[in-house]
Amino acid sequence: MRERFWERYPLEELSGEEWEALCDGCGQCCLLKIEDEDSGDVAVLNVACELLDISSCRCSDYENRFERVPDCTQLTAARVEDFRWLPHSCAYRRLHEGRKLAGWHPLISGDPSRVHRKGISVASFAVSQKDVPEEALEEHIIAILPIDG
C-alpha cells in the first residue's frame, strides 16, 4: 500500500487493498436496516447480519458474502454518497466528506482493537440475525435516519 494513501489520494484512486484497509472494523454497516418505502427514512436495527462475527466485528465469510446474503451491500467509492446511513465515524464517509480519519482508526493508531475499546463497534450491543425472528425485527430499531439525514 502507498504511504498515508488516505491523505494523498481520492477514494476513486485507491487500490483494492487500500480500500479494504480503510475499514475500521466497527461492524456498523453490517447492522440490518429497514427503509420506509413511503418516507424513505431508514431504521437501523441492533441486529447484525447472520455472517457477522459480533465479537470481532468481521464477516465470517467475506469472500462469499454476496452469494450467501443477497441483500449484502457492497460499498464502493462511486456509491459512498448513496449510503447516508453510514455512521459519521466511518472512514469511507469521513474521507468522502473531506474529513480526516479519527485518531482511533487502525491506520492512525496501529491498533485494530481500539475501535472496540472506544465503543464505536457493534460488539457491545449487536445481536445476531440468527437469534431474532423476522416478525420481531421492528422491536430492535435503535435509530431512525430521516431521508435528508
Alpha helices (runs of H) in 42-145, residue ranges in sequence order: 65-68, 91-96, 106-109, 114-117
Cell numbers given for 41: 427514512
- What is the enclosing helix (H) or strand (E) of 19? helix 16-21
Name the burial class of residue 26, with classes exposed (0-12), middle (13-18) and buried (19+) by CB atoms within 10 angstroms of its CB: buried
pLDDT digits (tens, 9 = 90+) for 37-77: 888 899 999 999 999 999 999 999 999 999 999 989 889 99
- pLDDT at residue number 85: 85
Cβ contact 107:101 at 8 Å? yes
> Is the pTM higher than 0.85?
yes
pLDDT digits (tens, 9 = 90+) for 13-32: 999 999 999 999 999 999 99
- pLDDT at residue number 148: 63
pLDDT digits (tens, 9 = 90+) for 74-132: 899 988 888 888 899 999 999 999 999 999 999 999 999 999 999 999 999 999 999 99
Q: Is 32 helix (H, G, I), strand (E, B) or coil?
A: strand
Q: Where are the domains of the chain?
A: 5-145
